[in-house]
Amino acid sequence: MNEKGMAADDGKRLFKQVYDHVIHRIEHGEWKAHEKLPSIRQLAEELGVHRLTVFRAYQMLKHNEKVYVKEKSGYYVNPNDPDRVVLEYGEDQPIVASGKLINSLSDIQRVSAAYQFSQALIDPNLLPNLFLSDYVKKVFDLYPKLMGTYSTVQGDEELREVLSRYMMQNHHTQLQASDIMITTGAQQAIDLLSRIFISPMDAVMIERPTYSAAIDIFRQQRARFIPVDIHHYGYDIANVERLMKQYKPRFFYMNPTFHNPTGYTVPSSQRKQLVELAERYRCLLIEDDAFHDMHFDGPPPQPLFTYDTEGWVVYLRSFSKYVAPGLRICAIIASPTVMKLLFTAKSLADNGSPLVNQKIFLHYFQSERLQQHIEKLRIALQVRRDIMEKELTPTGWNWVSPRGGLNLWIKLPEAIPVEQFLKECMQQSISFVPGIICDPLRKMRSQIRLSYSFINEKQLQQGVKNLVTVADRYS
Amino acid sequence: MNEKGMAADDGKRLFKQVYDHVIHRIEHGEWKAHEKLPSIRQLAEELGVHRLTVFRAYQMLKHNEKVYVKEKSGYYVNPNDPDRVVLEYGEDQPIVASGKLINSLSDIQRVSAAYQFSQALIDPNLLPNLFLSDYVKKVFDLYPKLMGTYSTVQGDEELREVLSRYMMQNHHTQLQASDIMITTGAQQAIDLLSRIFISPMDAVMIERPTYSAAIDIFRQQRARFIPVDIHHYGYDIANVERLMKQYKPRFFYMNPTFHNPTGYTVPSSQRKQLVELAERYRCLLIEDDAFHDMHFDGPPPQPLFTYDTEGWVVYLRSFSKYVAPGLRICAIIASPTVMKLLFTAKSLADNGSPLVNQKIFLHYFQSERLQQHIEKLRIALQVRRDIMEKELTPTGWNWVSPRGGLNLWIKLPEAIPVEQFLKECMQQSISFVPGIICDPLRKMRSQIRLSYSFINEKQLQQGVKNLVTVADRYS
């Protein structure tokens, strides 16, 4: 390449870097809607580039509708940017409830409601609290220096040993402690994998609908979404193959067992096929198995990772969710290659999850009480699901009865405008998740997710009755 | 802009994205040294761009020495890339100790050594272990449902309330619980701030030497480093001003009190000036105050954030480090603007640190025992520092005696080759941190950091004697 070519290429590189720089600041909310950008001169100085480079970046930002121009004044952040990265739900589709703007799932969940159908969490009253407290005391007798000790980056070895044996017994697969990493909840696991695998513009396959936090995490890394519809019978496998072939996604993030939010389960027959596709098209599968143990009609099919011999499945299992969610224990099972990348990412992110939590969990996990607790919990959840479904039957709304998990995914009649409906429900102290939050394409405007796991039976019944009363106003 | 201009600019954007894409995969270790890149055709298909765009990106990668070409074969990852992002120390300057490659600080710390001078951590035997275990039991009696409860994203409100009152009393500053966020250790805090504020090519001011994990975290975000020397009398303030003016850094990450690794403290007289410079040049100061309470000759100067009225200082205080490091409790104090950004970043990263740890820490923090413990600890550390200095005196090596903190920062005579010295020490079961790991410019080849906090007095004495014996071979 000659010198002139070099200079031109350097110019292009700088141009794109300036462009990205501005986008980053806008997306992170530093430069807000209608705020004036720095002058061309200012930004050129700040970044140490030529003013012409900034000028060209600003022109491109304008062309892409990221900014608008006021004559003789300057460049301003465009609030109507068509493909704005939605870090906050409300910037695209604001929902006003109880006079407050609802910006995201966590906002909806923060609004206190007597009838909480927006939390896919276990009612704390269903957890073995007293027993756990006693257990904790034993754990501290066992490890008197626990408070003074850091965990290793990958997680407590004793816990990983126990989990690997548990997985081998239950899933007939070969595993070692070194194949497992402990993270602070499944969300951290998704975030670490996203930081490792997603570069800007990377294609990522994702179910539609899906776990809303995953959408936000992948968007933050500026992924391109390749959505795959999930149905009660699984995926359209031919379509999955076509998409893998065409887009070569970095991974397919999936939640194939008692899927959140729909409750669907991908059948065994598709699981082996999916692993074969993953191998053939070199597309990692990230299998998020958050609800595995919460089945109502017998255990679900074996996880996809049990079919994997070549390391194309990364398996995430939230273990503490049904036992002691406050401990935030998730296990990632991955091939040595992926584990090495995870190790670096985790060591930079927090250098290892707290050991205290891992040891407390370890000892409870090994106790007989755990199995008894999980069996009781399944029954309790099934009863709650039945109550919710019974109260909803007269409405004629559409849903597929879930055979596990914590949620009902409901298609409302067209006559009910979901955002207005949520607003009115919140005024009645009822909360739920509007489906649009779970949709990577932000179009599912008549679906809602109702969680039946968080409030007790009596409240659940009354809450659903009240919800139906609000809905009746639209008919 | 006309259509032709658009197409050209789109082409440039794609070109840079392909370039970044390859860099990301190389930096994350997916494509390793001497590994063949995908063919131009393959990558073009995978990313859905024109082959010419990939060709041009590959040419630029070659020009920038990221890859090299083998005739009639293809493009290969260049192991000698001059400005390669050093995620792992060893890729630039491999150190071989006990026959094993040492790749990073965590690698050095993982090698078990009888004489651990590489861990800037408190000896677990100095912690109030039994008392803490009793305390935990009380905490669980107080909050029987603790295990079933998630923390809010920002952290337990009761804990933030208590910490804000503590900070007001000790630092004469106005604070509310809403000004504080709890993270899983200081490292997570640095990582969150880095993800918020650093876009690729952003300038970041950083002390030289500094905390090695911060170097790795900022490099991962592809920051440009603007190093500022730290001396026993503080910074060269005129130089700080010149650098802020010239490079407009996004922030200055600093550790001005019992600095890691040097132990230096920036004097009061400079603190107010630095806050004024931060305001004037709109450069955030990230003040990492990890060693505040570990003073030997009276309390250190007030933190910089106490001089800040306009929100230009983000303050990080590790609270659990001297009490119960296993709990991993760090507090970030920040302006409402920064707190809002932190809130989004933390909610994506893990949705809140575990509540169990926060409640245990809260109750111990409020007990009288805490103050007694900290006072005892200061004396114990001072004794250990004295032992280490006494044993080192005959060597004639250079260091400034630290008035707080956990480390001695030593300049060895030129005759001692640090890497070889470390290797031989490790063979004698002695570990320390080579200074180069703490240097953003990777040039400090004759400094070492010795931590005196982790092993008991007797071992400390013996370990330093042995270390000096090894060093004597070079004289």
Is the confidence at residue B93, as pLDDT, over 50? no
Q: How confident is the model at residue A79 (pLDDT cuts 50, 70, 90)?
A: confident
Asked whether A100 and A324 are in contact (CB, 8 A), the reply is: no
Neighbour-count burial of A336, counting CB atoms closer than 10 A to its CB (0-12 exposed, 13-18 middle, 19+ buried): exposed
Q: From the CA of B45, how many Å to the nearest CA of chain A?
A: 8
Alpha carbon dihedral A218, A219, A221, A224, in 10-degree steps, equals 90
- Determine, for residues A348 and B213 on separate chains, whether the beta-carbon distance falls below 8 Å: yes
Q: In chain B, what residues touch A104 (CB-CB under 8 Å)?
A: 347
Pairing of strands B203-208, B224-229: parallel
Most confident of A149-158, A255-264, B62-71: A255-264
pLDDT tens sequence across A286-312: 999 999 999 999 999 999 999 999 999
Is the confidence at residue A369, as pLDDT, over 70? yes
Q: List, as own/partner pairs, every contact residues B368-373 make where C-beta atoms lie below 8 angstroms and the sequence separation is at least 24, other chains included.
A: B369/B128, B369/B131, B370/B323, B373/B127, B373/B128, B373/B322, B373/B323
Give the model's pLDDT for residue B407. Answer: 97
pLDDT tens sequence across B219-246: 888 888 999 999 999 999 999 999 999 9
pLDDT tens sequence across A181-196: 999 999 999 999 999 9
- Determine, for residues B349 and A106 on separate chains, whether the beta-carbon distance falls below 8 Å: no
- Determine, for residues B28 and A153 on separate chains, whether the beta-carbon distance falls below 8 Å: no
Q: In chain B, what residues touch A17 (CB-CB under 8 Å)?
A: 16, 200-201
pLDDT tens sequence across B358-400: 998 998 888 888 888 999 999 999 999 999 999 999 999 999 9
Q: How confident is the model at residue A267 (pLDDT cuts 50, 70, 90)?
A: very high
Q: Enumerate the domain spans of chain A.
A: 3-77, 89-125+371-472, 128-368
Is the confidence at residue B2, as pLDDT, over 60? no
B12 near A CB under 8 A: yes
B69 near A CB under 8 A: no
- Determine, for residues A9 and B56 on separate chains, whether the beta-carbon distance falls below 8 Å: yes
Q: How confident is the model at residue A13 (pLDDT cuts 50, 70, 90)?
A: low
Q: How confident is the model at residue B17 (pLDDT cuts 50, 70, 90)?
A: confident
Percent of chain B with pLDDT over 90: 61
Residue A32 tokens read as 């807000």
Is the confidence at residue B278, as pLDDT, over 90? yes
Residue in B349, B218, B206 with CA at minimum distance from that of residue B284: B206
Give the model's pLDDT for residue B48. Answer: 76
pLDDT tens sequence across B323-335: 888 899 999 999 9
Q: From the CA of B184, how many Å to the nearest CA of chain A?
A: 7
Residue A101 tokens read as 């703007």
Q: In chain B, what residues touch A202 (CB-CB under 8 Å)?
A: 21
Q: In chain A, what residues touch B341 (CB-CB under 8 Å)?
A: 28-30
Give the model's pLDDT for residue A295. Answer: 96
A348 near B CB under 8 A: yes
More confident residue, A23 or A336: A336
Give the model's pLDDT for residue B105. Answer: 64
- Determine, for residues B145 and A129 on separate chains, whether the beta-carbon distance falls below 8 Å: yes
Q: Which has the minimum average pLDDT: A108-117, B38-47, B283-292, B446-455? A: A108-117
Asked whether B410 and B397 are in contact (CB, 8 A), the reply is: yes
A354 near B CB under 8 A: yes
pLDDT tens sequence across B152-188: 999 999 999 999 999 999 998 899 999 999 999 999 9
Length of chain A: 475
A127 near B CB under 8 A: yes
List the 414-433 stretch of B: residues with Cβ below 8 A of A. none
Q: How confident is the model at residue A147 (pLDDT cuts 50, 70, 90)?
A: confident
- Determine, for residues B144 and A129 on separate chains, whether the beta-carbon distance falls below 8 Å: yes
CATH topology match: A3-77 vs A89-125+371-472: no
Provide the CATH topology of domain B89-125+370-472: Aspartate Aminotransferase, domain 1 (3.90.1150)
Give the model's pLDDT for residue B144. Answer: 81
Name B298's Cβ contacts closer than 8 Å, sequence gap at least 6.
Answer: none
Dist. CA B463–CA B445, nearest whole Å: 22
A86 near B CB under 8 A: no
pLDDT tens sequence across A321-367: 888 888 999 999 999 999 999 999 999 999 999 998 999 899 888 88
Dist. CA B342–CA B128, nearest whole Å: 33
Q: In chain B, what residues touch A125 (CB-CB under 8 Å)?
A: 145
Q: Which residues pair with B181 in a beta bridge?
A: B332
More confident residue, A368 or A469: A469
Is the confidence at residue A106, as pLDDT, over 60? yes
The string of DSSP letters for A269-284 reads HHHHHHHHHHHHTT-E
Across the interface, of A122, A213, A349, the residue whose CB is closest to B188 is A349
Asked whether B179 and B333 are in contact (CB, 8 A), the reply is: yes
Provide the CATH topology of domain B129-367: Aspartate Aminotransferase; domain 2 (3.40.640)
Q: How confident is the model at residue B106 (pLDDT cuts 50, 70, 90)?
A: low
Q: Which residues pair with B205 in a beta bridge?
A: B226, B252
- Determine, for residues B327 and A9 on separate chains, whether the beta-carbon distance falls below 8 Å: no
Q: In chain B, what residues touch A148 (CB-CB under 8 Å)?
A: 122, 124, 127, 129, 324-326
What value does the mean pLDDT take over residues A151-169? 95
Is the confidence at residue B94, as pLDDT, over 50? no
Count how many pairs of residues, chain A against chain B, have C-beta atoms within 8 Å.
Answer: 236
- For residue A267, is it left (φ>0), alpha (ψ between -120 and 50) or beta? beta
Q: Does domain A89-125+371-472 have CATH number 3.90.1150.10?
A: yes
Cis check for the bond before B209: say yes or no (omega within 30 of 0): yes
Q: From the CA of A460, how many Å to the nearest CA of chain B?
A: 19
Asked whether A119 and A109 are in contact (CB, 8 A), the reply is: yes
- Determine, for residues A63 and B220 on separate chains, whether the beta-carbon distance falls below 8 Å: no
- Determine, for residues B133 and A124 on separate chains, whether the beta-carbon distance falls below 8 Å: no
Q: Which amino acid is at A85?
A: V
Name B240's Cβ contacts closer than 8 Å, sequence gap at least 6.
Answer: B205, B228, B252, B274, B277
H/E element, B330: strand B329-333
Give the model's pLDDT for residue B370. Answer: 86
Q: How confident is the model at residue A434 (pLDDT cuts 50, 70, 90)?
A: very high
Residue in A220, A225, A219, A218 with CA at minimum distance from that of residue A203: A225
- Determine, for residues B20 and A147 on separate chains, whether the beta-carbon distance falls below 8 Å: no
- Determine, for residues A24 and B327 on separate chains, whether the beta-carbon distance falls below 8 Å: no
Neighbour-count burial of B2, counting CB atoms closer than 10 A to its CB (0-12 exposed, 13-18 middle, 19+ buried): exposed
List the 91-120 stretch of B: residues with Cβ below 8 A of A. 104, 106, 110
Any idea which architecture B3-77 has in CATH? Orthogonal Bundle (1.10)
- Determine, for residues A21 and B201 on separate chains, whether the beta-carbon distance falls below 8 Å: yes
Q: From the CA of B412, how many Å to the nearest CA of chain A?
A: 30
The CATH code of domain A128-368 reads 3.40.640.10
B357 near A CB under 8 A: yes
Residue of A nearest to B344 (CA): A87
More confident residue, B102 or B452: B452
Helix spans in A76-198 (H): 89-92, 105-110, 129-142, 157-171, 185-197
Across the interface, of A16, A145, A355, the residue whose CB is closest to B16 is A16
More confident residue, B211 or A107: B211
pLDDT tens sequence across A392-417: 999 999 999 999 999 999 999 999 99
Residue the block writes with tokens 């699901």? A385
Q: To probe the interface with A, which of B47, B147, B342 has the most A CB atoms within 10 Å?
A: B147
B355 near A CB under 8 A: yes
Across the interface, of B147, B351, B355, the residue whose CB is closest to A127 is B147
What value does the mean pLDDT take over residues A141-159? 88
- Determine, for residues B47 and A201 on separate chains, whether the beta-carbon distance falls below 8 Å: yes
**Whole-number Cα distances in Å, B251 to A42, A160, A358:** 17, 39, 35
